[in-house]
Chain A
Amino acid sequence: MEIEVSFDLKVYSLDTLKKAAYRYINVFSINFDIQPKQVRCTLAFTDKSTPDQCKYYVDQFKKEVLDQDLRNTIKNETEPVRNLILAQAFSKTGLVDDE
């Protein structure tokens, strides 16, 4: 069974969609069709999957996209401080400045 879901590229990045899809690699395979303004995702389930199961996982996938988007926001904001902490944690050289 195949189900199509579209996401607006102004709202979600392709990277976010890919990360969300990876989490369901054991449930469905996915094809990304990149349009100018949106990404069309075709989710292909195995023949054994029931319509209810497919619907459940499509909903889960959509929620996961939201979570991945939030993770991306956290990652973008915290990346500099994360790199600073990691660098200083393993450095005694004094070459890494705090600011």
Chain B
Amino acid sequence: MSKFQGIEFYKKSDKKYHLLPFRFINLTEEKLLLTNLVGEYYLTDRKVLDDLVHHQLDRENLAYSNLRSRHFLYDEQTSIAKNLLKIKYRTKFNRLADFTSLHMFVVSLRCEHSCPYCQVSRQSDDKKKYDMSEEVASKSIDLTLRSPSKNIKIEFQGGESLLNFELIKYIVEEAKSRNVDKNLGFVIATNLAVVTQEILDYCLMHDIHISTSLDGPKSLHNKNRPRPGKNSYEKTIEGIQLTRDTLGFDKVNALMTTTEASLSMPKEIIDEYLLHNFSGIFLRPLSPYGFAIKTKKFNEYNASRWFEFYKQGLEYIIKLNKEGIRFREFYTSTILKKIFTLSDPGYVDLMSPAGIGIAAVVYNYDGNIFASDESRMLAEMGENKFKMGNVLHDTYKDIFLSDALLDPLEDSFALSVPMCNDCAFENYCGADPVYHYATTNDFVGRKPESDFCYRNMNAFKYIFNRMDSDKFVEDLFMSWSK
């Protein structure tokens, strides 16, 4: 007896099939994107969609087998589809059981820079007022190590974190000595202006990574990031070199902040990153915290301008890759990872349930705990909506079961939000209640008026259209998802 079904089995003309849950959206007038329960996708036209939904799709049609293999429909030959979807869905949300892995310690609000876009730094010599104390640090370490996550990353933030390097040393050594079974990692976010060989030697000894800021070419960087001596750029570049020499080439990464002045310079900014041999760049969206939040029009205007900036930057990066220069854009990579894999890259803005509190948490210098770095910035503007508690007064349970965390998580869950719940991009997008609260005083906001929605919808459409129109881009983007 043959181990295989005969050809007649596969030629059955019975049109009976069942739909599995999926959503769709127009990418262009003619082209539609279909996404299933776990974010697997299929590009097609209106006729196929109509035929599919009305059970008129012929089995001989190539779309039929494609849609069947991607779990948009099942028939008598593929009854296992439901079980596979179940396993994939469970895998997709597996991260939730791990809970908070990123713990940010704001060791000082003091900073020798005076960047106009920064909401949190303070020019002050008063160390006691704006530096984290050992008592606050100690309690914060206890909370950090209570997280069920096996992998814990402690990130030191500022102000300028290196201005309180003694406390960083205390936290690193205490965390290591109290740790029983976690994989601990450490990152210092610093502008590198005050870094020394001695500091880097300590980082080498404790395998501490460095994350710094590089906004672009010298003129732009120094304009964005004023400091005494007007030499922020020079200090950063020197610091990057010293870090690479001491810790290793890949132990330092750089982030840019997009400002009004950046928007016309995507190529120059990318060239600056290439000049310093970085493997990619994160063309970060504009932050709504601060001045932009007060003037809604300014904000909306910049959402479309950011998208143009992003598009120009991405096209330039694609061109570089076509010329053989390997370089990637990290915002796109994050989205691609969500499109092509079931693992979550852990980018708080693009998570649902929102990543606040359950993917990252911030211990502020004064002991207050916030659900994200943006929540802390909002607090500096006088809005404490996302303050989860204080390390000195509240227990682990009080903090992580606080209404300040659970209310926004519950309210903003994209599967129950108008428009998000039937959006084909929902699997790739996020809830971001902090952003929406900052801009609309509501955890959800109205999505048609949300520039978060505008920005991401446009980015998703652009990414899918580019992959569909250019095989090179499809292959390139696939490689970025790994």
Residue numbers of A with Cβ under 8 A of B are: 19, 22-27, 67-68, 70-71, 73-75, 77-79, 81-82, 84-86, 88-90, 98
Known A-B contacts A81-B82, A85-B85; A26 and B21 likewise in contact (beta carbons under 8 Å): no
Residue numbers of B with Cβ under 8 A of A are: 18-24, 26, 37, 49-50, 53, 82, 85-87, 89-90, 93, 418-419, 422, 446, 448-449
Question: B19 touching A77 by the CB < 8 A rule?
Answer: yes
Interface CB pairs A-B, < 8 A, 19: A19-B418, A23-B419, A24-B448, A25-B446, A26-B448, A26-B449, A70-B50, A70-B53, A74-B22, A74-B23, A78-B21, A78-B22, A85-B21, A85-B86, A85-B89, A88-B86, A89-B93, A90-B90, A98-B82
B320 vs chain A, min Cβ distance (A): 36
A71: which B residues are within 8 A, CB to CB? 23-24, 422
Across the interface, name the chain A residue whose C-beta is closest to B448.
A26
A32 vs chain B, min Cβ distance (A): 16
B50: which A residues are within 8 A, CB to CB? 70
B86: which A residues are within 8 A, CB to CB? 85, 88-89
CA distance A73 to B49 in the complex (A): 12
Q: Which of A22, A74, A86 contacts B53 (CB 8 A)?
A: A74
Known A-B contacts A23-B448, A74-B19; A82 and B37 likewise in contact (beta carbons under 8 Å): yes
CA distance A78 to B23 in the complex (A): 11
Question: A74 touching B21 by the CB < 8 A rule?
Answer: yes
B85: which A residues are within 8 A, CB to CB? 85
CA distance A70 to B449 in the complex (A): 24
B257 vs chain A, min Cβ distance (A): 28
A6 vs chain B, min Cβ distance (A): 23
Known A-B contacts A22-B418, A22-B448, A26-B448; A85 and B37 likewise in contact (beta carbons under 8 Å): yes
Question: B21 touching A81 by the CB < 8 A rule?
Answer: yes
Question: B422 touching A81 by the CB < 8 A rule?
Answer: no
B201 vs chain A, min Cβ distance (A): 48
A24: which B residues are within 8 A, CB to CB? 448
Question: B19 touching A86 by the CB < 8 A rule?
Answer: no
Across the A-B interface, the 3 shortest Cβ-Cβ residue pairs: A89-B89, A82-B21, A26-B448
| Extra 9 A-B pairs, beta carbons < 8 Å, given A25-B446, A78-B21, A85-B86 | A22-B448, A26-B446, A27-B448, A70-B53, A74-B21, A78-B19, A78-B22, A81-B21, A82-B21
B89: which A residues are within 8 A, CB to CB? 85-86, 89
CA distance A22 to B419 in the complex (A): 8
CA distance A43 to B98 in the complex (A): 48
Question: B53 touching A25 by the CB < 8 A rule?
Answer: no
Across the interface, name the chain A residue whose C-beta is closest to B32.
A67
Q: Which of B18, B26, B53, B448 contacts A81 (CB 8 A)?
A: B18
CA distance A23 to B420 in the complex (A): 11
CA distance A73 to B21 in the complex (A): 11
A26: which B residues are within 8 A, CB to CB? 446, 448-449
CA distance A77 to B17 in the complex (A): 12
CA distance A16 to B18 in the complex (A): 23
Q: Which of B20, B37, B49, B418 contacts A70 (CB 8 A)?
A: B49
CA distance A71 to B446 in the complex (A): 20
Known A-B contacts A25-B448, A25-B449, A26-B449; A84 and B82 likewise in contact (beta carbons under 8 Å): yes
Q: Which of A25, A67, A74, A82 has the most CB of B within 10 A?
A: A74
B276 vs chain A, min Cβ distance (A): 41
B129 vs chain A, min Cβ distance (A): 44
A21 vs chain B, min Cβ distance (A): 10
Known A-B contacts A19-B422, A71-B422; A78 and B448 likewise in contact (beta carbons under 8 Å): no
Across the interface, name the chain A residue whose C-beta is closest to B450.
A26
A67: which B residues are within 8 A, CB to CB? 24, 26
Question: B422 touching A78 by the CB < 8 A rule?
Answer: no
CA distance A92 to B82 in the complex (A): 16
A5 vs chain B, min Cβ distance (A): 18
CA distance A27 to B448 in the complex (A): 9
A73: which B residues are within 8 A, CB to CB? 53
Q: Which of A19, A78, A84, A89 contacts B90 (CB 8 A)?
A: A89
A89: which B residues are within 8 A, CB to CB? 86-87, 89-90, 93
CA distance A90 to B86 in the complex (A): 9
Question: B19 touching A85 by the CB < 8 A rule?
Answer: no
A97 vs chain B, min Cβ distance (A): 13
A43 vs chain B, min Cβ distance (A): 14
B412 vs chain A, min Cβ distance (A): 17
A77: which B residues are within 8 A, CB to CB? 18-19
A68: which B residues are within 8 A, CB to CB? 422
Across the interface, name the chain B residue whose C-beta is closest to A23.
B448
CA distance A53 to B86 in the complex (A): 45
CA distance A58 to B313 in the complex (A): 35
